[in-house]
Structure 1
Amino acid sequence: MSVKIKGMEKLLKELENRFGKQQIQRISDEGLKRGAAVFVEELKAEFQSFKDTGASIEEITISEPYWAASGERTIKVHWRGPKGRYRIIHLNEWGTIKNPNPPGKGAITRALKNAEKAYRDAIKRAVMEGIR
């Protein structure tokens, strides 16, 4: 489902004129960081249900905001650490032929769905605080 918003370009140009490009990017980055933090908290809560050693929870990492190939500012939540949990996250999320329904199946998807409203609210608050 997509939504077409009219006048968005005009609004963005007006904000850039009022605050400057760098200030708008700083506000955007702060919103992305807050939104990612909200998502990570929900993700950690979902991972608690099948926690073994806790390595998957400990290795959740948030990148710094960067420009994506599509030209949008984005932030990445990924796994990085000494235990290399990034290798098995996909297997936990989707299962395997031998174990099609692991205990953590769908945890990332549930976290995305559960955190969606809180994520949007965190971004809105950061933007509202930034433009005041």
Structure 2
Amino acid sequence: MSEKFIAEIEGAKETLNALEKKFGKTQVRKITRKAVNLGAEKVEKKLQQDMEVFKDQGYSIDEVVRTTARYRNEVVEAEIGWNGPKERYRLIHLNEWGYTRNGRQIRPRGFGVITKSLANSGQMYLDTIYEEVKKSL
């Protein structure tokens, strides 16, 4: 299971086209992947920090994984999810959205933490990408 945070920046296509003309497509893709990786790494760290609220043995935090940035249909993306020997991905959904037991809605300690963390990390992610691209150019 992975939560998706999608960031769209106005004028991004025009900017990328101008950069591709100046530096070449390969170099721009390299810079973009590097920037997205750094931004995703910061979001991953923030998510792990925010998940401390419902930490028991820490397996859910330990099993947070991030894929390296890659292009898919001309869009660069990196995913954050859960994978590991304790198979915590099965419990993340229950922690995030709650569950029903005997007709009662149960909201665990971690209710909504992941969604809030990703929503609050949006500006940090965009700022990181901006700074990294600015440094690389």
Whether TM-score is above 0.5 comes out as yes
The secondary structure found in structure 2 opposite 1:103 is coil
Name the % identity.
34
Match of 1:53 in 2: 57
Distance 1:66 1:88 in 2: 28
Residue number among 124, 127, 136 corresponding to 1:130 in the alignment = 136
The secondary structure found in structure 1 opposite 2:100 is coil
The secondary structure found in structure 2 opposite 1:116 is helix
Residue number among 18, 22, 25 corresponding to 2:26 in the alignment = 22
Match of 1:104 in 2: 110
Tell me, yes or no, if the aligned pair for 2:16 and 2:28 is still in contact at 8 Å.
no
Alignment-mate amino acid for residue 50 of structure 1: F
**TM superposition score normalised by structure 2:** 0.84
Match of 2:126 in 1: 120
- Report the alpha carbon displacement of residue 66 of structure 1 after superposing the two structures with TM: 2.1
Q: Whose strand proportion is higher, 1 or 2? A: 2
5+ unaligned residues in a row in structure 2: which ranges?
1-7
- Runs of 4+ aligned residues of structure 1 deviating over 6 Å after TM superposition are none
Give a deviation string over 1:50-103, Cα, whole Å, max 9, x none: 1001001001111011233x5411000011111111111111100111252111
Larger mean CA deviation between 72-81 and 91-100 belongs to: 91-100
Distance 1:53 1:128 in 2: 40
* RMSD of Structure 2 on Structure 1 (CA): 1.9
The verdict on how the C-alpha distance between 1:5 and 1:121 changes in structure 2, with shifts beyond 3 A counting, is: closer
Distance 1:40 1:111 in 2: 10
The alignment of Structure 1 onto Structure 2 pairs a total of residues equal to 127
